[in-house]
Amino acid sequence: MIRKTMTVLALAASLGAAALPLLASPAFAQSAAAKAAVDAGKAAGTVGEQADGFLGVVSGGDAETRAAVAEINAGRAAVYKDTAAKTGVTAEAAGQATAKQLYARLAPGQYWKPLNGGWVKK
């Protein structure tokens, strides 16, 4: 367990600010409509970031919002898989390391879901 934690922390440190540009890379390929729907959902409190590096629906959310979350999560999964292959860690560790960077960018009042926890406002 300690080794896994140290690996995740080392990955987070090595990725640092480089983790977020990965999410904007062509491999991520999110549509402008999906990004706009998720941004609106975050502002409305229906979409939040999770400690695993994926988006989640906090509550409610129409079909468009849910589809946007699924689209962006599919892109994130591909990026985490690619990052894992390049760094030798698991895709889960890559997602968790990126989640730390995403959490830092959350605006006050937006939602975050820790691993094995419930939704909380930042």
C-alpha 95: how far from chain center:
7
Pairwise pLDDT comparison (82 vs 25), residue with the higher score: 82
Element (H, E) at 26: none
pLDDT for the residue 19? 47
Q: What is the arithmetic mean of pLDDT over 32-51?
A: 96
Q: What is the arithmetic mean of pLDDT over 19-28?
A: 48
* Residue with the two structure tokens 């977020």: 20
Dist CA 16 CA 46 (whole Å):
28
User: By percentage, how much of the chain surpasses pLDDT 90?
Assistant: 74
Q: What is the arithmetic mean of pLDDT over 28-33?
A: 80
pLDDT for the residue 59? 92
Dist CA 26 CA 64 (whole Å):
22
Of 1-10, 55-64, 72-81, which range is least confident?
1-10
Of 22-31, 59-68, 112-121, which range is least confident?
22-31
pLDDT of 79 over the 60 cut = yes
pLDDT for the residue 122? 94
Measured in degrees and rounded to the nearest 5, phi and psi for residue 17 equal -70, -15
Closest Cα to residue 11, out of 113, 117, 88, 118? 88
Sorted by where each begins, the domain ranges of the chain are: 2-121
Measured in degrees and rounded to the nearest 5, phi and psi for residue 71 equal -65, -50
Please measure the distance between the N-terminal and C-terminal CA atoms of the chain and give it in whole angstroms: 27
